[in-house]
Chains A and B, each alone.
Chain A
Amino acid sequence: AQKVTQAQTEISVVEKEDVTLDCVYETRDTTYYLFWYKQPPSGELVFLIRRNSFDEQNEISGRYSWNFQKSTSSFNFTITASQVVDSAVYFCALSAYSGNTPLVFGKGTRLSVIA
C-alpha cells in the first residue's frame, strides 16, 4: 500500500526566513511519481511540481526547491526567503508511474508566514 507522511502539522515562520516542509513516503512500486500541491486560504489546489522516481536531481524554481532522496524515501520542499503569500497548506502526494492513477496525499502542513 502507498502512504505519505507529513509529520509537521503546522509551521510558523517570520517573513524572509527559510522553511523546509518534510515529506516521507512508502510504496512497493519501483517507479512512481511524487507531487507537491499548495492550497491557499481560497481553497483551490495548486500544482507545484511532479517528480519521477528515477530522476533524483534536485529542482529549483525561484524561491522554491525540492530535495528528492530515494534512499530515505523523502521528498522535501524548501521555501527560501518566505513571504506572507506563501501562507497555505502544502500537500505532498504519491502515485503509481503507470499514469493516470489516483494520488495518495499526505495530511498536509499548514504554513503561516508572519510579517
Chain B
Amino acid sequence: DAGVIQSPRHEVTEMGQEVTLRCKPISGHDYLFWYRQTMMRGLELLIYFNNNVPIDDSGMPEDRFSAKMPNASFSTLKIQPSEPRDSAVYFCASSLAPAETYEQYFGPGTRLTVT
C-alpha cells in the first residue's frame, strides 16, 4: 500500500492567496484527520471525517479554513485568503476500525509558508 499521500509537499505562497492542500487516505480507511503542527501550538486537530462526513471541525481556526471530502479517496483543506500565521506543517492521517487495532497512519505532511 502506498500509504497516505499528501500534495504538495511544500507550498510557498503570498499573503492573500488561496491555498489548497490535498490528501489521499489509505484505501479502505473510513476515517480521515487533518492536523496542523506549529512551533507555538504543537500538533493539533483541525477536522476529521468519517465516511466522508465531517464529524468535528471545532479545531478549524476560522472561516478562512475549509475542508471537504467529496469521496472516500480524496480530501482537501483550503485556506482563503492565506495569512503568514497559517505557516505550518499540515498532516493528513487515516484510520480504520476496529478499535482493537487502532492506529492512525500519517502522511508525510505539507509544509506551508505564507509570506
Contacts and interface: CB of A to CB of B under 8 A. Distances in A.
A99 B102 contact: yes
A37 B109 CA distance: 15
A77 B97 CA distance: 26
Contacts of B33: 102-103
Residue among A91, A98, A99 facing the most chain B CB atoms (10 A cut-off):
A99
A100 interface: yes
A65 to B, nearest CB: 20
A110 B96 CA distance: 30
Nearest to B30: A100
B102 A100 contact: yes
Interface stretch (A15-23, A44-52, A67-75): A44-52
Interface in B82-108: 89, 91, 95-99, 102-106, 108
Contact of A45 (B45, B50, B99, B106): B106
Size bracket of the A interface: 20 to 34
Given A99-B99, A100-B99, A105 B106 contact: no
Contacts, number: 51
A41 interface: no
B44 A50 contact: no
A108 B99 CA distance: 25
Contacts of B109: 43-45
A48 B103 CA distance: 10
A103 B93 CA distance: 10
Interface of A: 33, 37, 43-45, 47, 50, 91, 95, 97-100, 102-108
4 nearest A-B pairs in the assembled complex, by CB-CB distance: A99-B99, A105-B43, A45-B106, A102-B45
